[in-house]
Amino acid sequence: MNVEGTFLWRLYDAIRKEPFRRKIVIAPSYMEGQSWLIRISRELGPVMNVEVHTVQSFVKSQVEFSLYKQEMTLIRDQRSFWIIHYVMEQMASEPDSYISMDQVKPGIAMHVHKAIMDLRRAGVRAEELRDDHFLSQQKGCYVRKVLSAYELFLKQRKWTDFPGLLSYLSAPLPENVELILPDPMPLPLVSTKMLERLSNDRMTKIKTDASFTDNNSTLPLGEVQFYHATGKLAEVRKALRRIIQGQIPLDEVEMIVPDAEYALAISTMCASLGLPCSFADGLPVTTSGIGRASHFLLNWLESGYQVRQLVSMLQQQLITFSDRDKGITNADCIRALEKSGIGWGKERYIKILGSVHVRSQRDLDERPVEQERTEHLQREEEIKAYLANLLGDLFPDEAALCSPASIWGWLVKILDRFGVCRVEEDAIVRQEMKDMGKELQECPVPDSMPIQQGFLYVREMLQELRVGVQPLPKPGSLYVSSLVNGGISGRKHSFLLGMDERSWSGNIRQNPMLIDEECRRIGPELQTAVQRQRERQRHRDGRLGMMSGELTLSFSSYDLAEGTTVSPAFQLLQVFRKATGEPNADYEMLHRSLGEPVGYLDVEMPSSAEPNKLPLDGAHYVFGHIHAHASLQRDRQAVIESVYPLLHQGRTALEARGRTQVTEHDGYIAGEEWIAYWRGLSERTLSASQLEKYAECPMRYFFQYVLGIRVKDQVTFDRTSWLKPNERGSLLHEVYRRYMTEVCASHDMPITHDYTLLLRIAEETILAYAERIPVPSPHVFEKERQAMLRDVEVFFRMEVQGRTTPRFFEQELIVDGQPLRLELEDGMTISLRGIVDRIDQVGPHQYRIIDYKTGSPRPYKENGVFVGGTQLQHSLYAWGTELWMQQTGLDSDAKVLEAAYVFPSERGQGQVIARSQSERHRVTEVIRRILSSMEQGVFIPASGMGACRYCDYAAVCGDHAEMMVHKREDEVNTELLLTLLEVENLE
């Protein structure tokens, strides 16, 4: 590369003069200065006696000892911001303050801080400001007072910010030291004075290169390529395709991007492709585990401690609660939290985790046998106790939420205790957060502010953190830089991505506390927003003029989010003019030259010169292969499915569901393997609800009981309702059980009913549930409370009119801790488990069982018995109750004559639907058919879509039940579905 006459050549020439004199190169950034020296050493020759500094680092090194002797402390921007914030709060208490206390918020405070620091960098003191410098005299007076208070605050504490160092510079550089800096180099007035005072007239300025779009620029040095794409992801993929297909070494490539969105896209794609890359500006802190954990913890606090936020952190392993010594894993904690029913609310965690579990109806129907239940409950209680103790350390004190410093301190403490550091970057982020926390302790951060305002400040501080910053190119890695620092690596291939008008023109935003007109009134030493923007662009375009080798420029011509077209930047057009030798080329000519935009899976026809271009990934290979061979385009689906077999399986399943015959894709498990497995279950422990669920929907039974897919018991917030139907039913069951147990305790007959006692029990139970399950509002709670009290009143009226003798309540059908064994026909035996709500005696050795229903009585017809196998509970529990009483010796001649579904609620109107238990053989036949259908492997969807409305697995099935309607009626499936259809047709 010929660099003669460039900035690097001139800098090299200046460094070579008087080689034994110490040279200090002042650069806009340390990275930029080091890149200059690396390129000079690589392209021109070695240099000696040279070191790189920024203005800040150089001045600090010269004044450090002087500050130490005077016991002065140099503060950073974070501390100066909080000083300004403190001053603003003090002034807000004054009458008629320009900015009131309600307005001291992050956005306004940042504007004021920036205005004060701009004045400080321009060397403007408070005494030099006049009210007429500002368009509003009230604002002028306010800014002057803030600046004066800030100066006084620093003086009283013997602190100084960087502009204040000018007063402490005394001794100039030694005779054998020379400063070298680019010209022009945008510097505030105070920084310029600092360099002039220290240099002692030994300062060499090196003229910088012209803009890379200028006619005098050396660019383009090599081949220049252009393209546009239909989105940023497509644009990035195209760049990576060119690198891979061109077999370009990664450490010869620099990608220059305009924003963090491009950097994240490159990071994600390179990670998926296994391409190493380094980032000059790093990545947002949320790309690290500790960074994501910080944001999740803040969200958890702001959401009112919602359990799902905490569970999500544990599932993603951003934090861990596991304890090896106690054998407790994160999975155990997740399950316990999901089942807890906490929902949200700090005060509920410890209360619920430390309380006895309130059983739902599902728990009552499906509890395991006694020994298993005891072990299971002991384990649950152990995990709950562990969580209750652990969460005491997790929750912040109320004082920890009153200021940004305390919130930040809480974050650091929690991440130190529970955070998961998988990689080195996580540990670095956590240490940086600790350092920022220590700095905050020295800042005058307010002790109290609104909690939401505190969260805003903390989130702003998190955004300042970066992950994986690599200022200099890393060998063997793709180098990703930005428009602020890109173009100086000297790599042979440069990709300028995102060259659209919006990204390159920039937004000129004036500071409302110090607008451009006010800057001009104060003096020429203050830069306006327009001047700053022009200088940034001039510096950017000049730095990009240092690019070497081949150049690729691109932009996204379509914004997918907004659905609008995007214009290319003027700089892209300028380079296009130079590359094509068409100085008068316009945008229309540029677009014609670019052709069609590149898509995400865009493929190109390989040329004869390059027949074996490397694909980017599998998708690129498949579509490129199809595109290159016309014969494959006719059957491209088969080609794609050969590479992606899961797509083939999905299409096969859809086609099978559309055909007539029932297959495995409809829920039919064919083959001897299933039959052998089923027959191998010599003991089948079933509950009535399980058998009913199979009859209602075999596929749901398969998901829940065969595959064991667990439904998460999460409490969701609904502003219009409190208890779900099953929770409401459990509450009323508990009220009825407690009341009947108390009034029957004396064994006096007839029973003396007590409505006052019933109401007391109802109120106590309702309040207990309110502690367990969050109440959305007092209004909703009171509305549902009154409705349940009306249900209780219906129950009381029914009991007063009752003529039977209650004997047992919520009786579990077990003997010696084991479920009952029911002997069916053909030598088949099942183990029955379940809980009978109530057993009444109607005569000598004669009984009636009762099952409370708190829903609608509509599904329970007067003349129905089994209702397609979905109502077996009355028969099974009647049979089980007889066996239980006989085997336990309570009544060896016990006979259950009747089973009744009782509806003691306002909705049920006290209705009683009784089922005679005189046909035991019919029960046996129904169960036999259900078990036979199970053994066949028939687990198809429900016969009607009504069962899908409230099904927990509806998202898995979709409209499968609707698709099955015609298959149930087709003769080809008659033999397979015979036993199931017989059950479904039972009345």
> Could you please report the per-residue DSSP string of 21-86?
SEEEEE-SSHHHHHHHHHHHHHHT----SEEEE-HHHHHHHHHHHHHHHTT-EE--HHHHHHHHHH
Please tell me whether residues 346 and 291 are part of one structural domain: yes
> Taking the CB of residue 709, how many other CB atoms lie within 10 A of it?
13
Residue 650 belongs to some domain of the structure = no
Give residue 919's pLDDT band: very low, low, confident or very high (50, 70, 90). confident
In this prediction, residues 396-400 reach a mean pLDDT of 81
Report the domain count for the chain: 6
560-561-562 Cα angle (round to 5): 95
> What is the distance between the alpha carbons of residues 607 and 654, in angstroms, rounded to a whole number?
39
Average pLDDT rounded to a whole number, residues 746-772 = 89
Q: How many CA atoms lie within 13 A of 957 on its CB side?
A: 29
Give pLDDT, residue 716: 64
DSSP 534-550: HHHHHHHHHHHTT--SE
Q: 742-748, long-range: CB within 8 Å, 24+ apart, which pairs?
A: 744/806
Beta strands in 340-438 (DSSP E): none
Q: What percent of the chain has pLDDT over 70?
A: 93
How are strands ordered across the β-sheet holding 50-53? 50-53, 22-26, 177-183, 203-207
Q: Which residues on adjacent β-strands are paired with residue 559?
A: 564
pLDDT given for residue 3 in this prediction? 65
Residue 309 domain boundaries? 286-467
Q: Is the pLDDT of residue 340 over 70?
A: yes
Helix (H), strand (E) at residue 87: helix 77-92
Residue 612 in any domain: the answer is no
Shared domain for 340 and 396, answered yes or no, is yes
Residue 319's DSSP bridge partners are 419
The domain boundary residue, chosen from 756, 782, 802: 802
Question: Could you tell me which of 853, 841, 758 has the C-alpha nearest to residue 803?
Answer: 841
Tokens representing 212 are 């890379």
Are 67 and 167 within 8 A, CB to CB? Answer: no
pLDDT, position 863 = 66
Residues 854-868, mean pLDDT to the nearest whole number: 78
- Residue 850 counted as domain residue: yes
Over 80: is that where the pLDDT of 176 sits? Answer: yes
Q: Are residues 360 and 423 in the same domain?
A: yes
Average pLDDT, the chain: 87
Report which of 583, 590, 550, 644 is spatially closest to residue 253, judged by C-alpha positions. Answer: 550
Which pLDDT value is given to residue 726?
A: 85
Both tokens of residue 956? 């898995």
Q: How confident is the model at residue 314 (pLDDT cuts 50, 70, 90)?
A: very high
Q: How far is CA 285 from the centre of its chain?
A: 14
748 and 875: one domain? no
Q: Are residues 870 and 948 in the same domain?
A: yes
Residues whose CB falls within 8 Å of the CB of residue 767, separated by 6 or more in sequence, listed in order: none
The runs of H, that is alpha helices, within 525-633 are 529-544, 570-580, 587-594, 618-628, 630-633
Alpha-carbon distance of 50 to 556, in angstroms, equals 42
- Residue 22 in any domain: the answer is yes
Contacts for 426 with CB less than 8 Å, ≥ 6 apart: 288, 289, 290, 419, 420
CATH code where residue 38 lies = 3.40.50.10930
Q: Is residue 240 part of a domain?
A: yes
Does 544 map to a domain?
Answer: yes
| Cα angle value 690/694/696 (rounded, 5°) | 115
Same domain for 180 and 43: yes
Whether 833 and 967 map to the same domain: the answer is yes
- CATH number, domain at 705? 3.90.320
pTM: 0.80
State which of 594, 618, 645 marks the end of a domain. 594
Cα 980 from Cα 679, distance rounded (Å): 18
Q: Does the pLDDT value for residue 87 go beyond 80?
A: yes
| Position 608 pLDDT exceeds 50 | no
What's the rounded mean pLDDT across residues 940-955?
80
User: How far apart are the C-alpha atoms of 547 and 492, rounded to whole Å?
Assistant: 8
Please list the helix, strand and coil fractions of the chain in percent, rounded to the nearest 5, in that order: 50, 15, 35
Residues 313, 961: Cα–Cα separation, whole Å: 36
Q: Is 935 exposed, middle or buried (0-12, 13-18, 19+ CB in 10 A)?
A: middle
Chosen domain end from 594, 619, 641: 594
Q: Where are the beta strands (DSSP E) in 242-317?
A: 253-257, 277-279, 283-284
What's residue 594's pLDDT?
Answer: 92
Q: Which long-range contacts (CB under 8 A, 24 or more apart) does 779-787 make?
A: 780/719, 780/720, 780/721, 780/722, 781/722, 784/721, 784/722, 784/723, 784/728, 787/906
| For residue 630, pLDDT beyond 80 | no
Is the residue at 562 inside a domain? yes
Provide the pLDDT confidence category of residue 378 given band limits of 50, 70 and 90.
confident
Region 141-169 average pLDDT: 94
Q: Is the pLDDT of residue 757 over 90?
A: yes
Pairing between β-strand 283-284 and β-strand 466-467 as defined by DSSP bridges: antiparallel
User: Please, which residues have CB within 8 angstroms of residue 10's CB and are 6 or more apart in sequence?
Assistant: 206, 207
Query: pLDDT, tens digit, for every residue of 244-273?
Result: 888 899 999 999 999 999 999 999 999 988
Across 117-131, 306-320, 557-571, least confident range = 557-571
> What number of other Cβ atoms are within 10 A of residue 344's Cβ?
17
Are 746 and 830 within one domain? no
Same domain, 415 and 539: no
Of 52, 18, 58, nearest to 172 by C-alpha is: 58
Same domain assignment for residues 536 and 580: yes
Backbone angles phi, psi at 711, to 5 degrees: -90, 130
Note whether 239 and 376 are same-domain residues.
Answer: no
**Helix/strand/coil (H, E, C) string of 654-707?**
HHHHHCCCCCHHHCECCCHHHHHHHHCCCCEEEEHHHHHHHHHCHHHHHHHHHC
Is pLDDT at 960 greater than 90 in this prediction?
no
**630 is a domain residue:** no
pLDDT > 90 in the chain, percent: 48
CA distance 725 to 729: 6
Using pLDDT thresholds of 50, 70 and 90, give the confidence band for residue 610: very low
Longest CA pairwise span in the chain (Å): 121
Per the CB < 8 A criterion, the answer to whether 548 and 1 are in contact is yes
Whether pLDDT at 233 is above 80: yes
What band does 609 get if pLDDT is binned at 50, 70 and 90?
very low
d(CA 749, CA 897): 22
Together in a domain, 669 and 705? yes
**Tokens 């000519």 label which residue?**
589
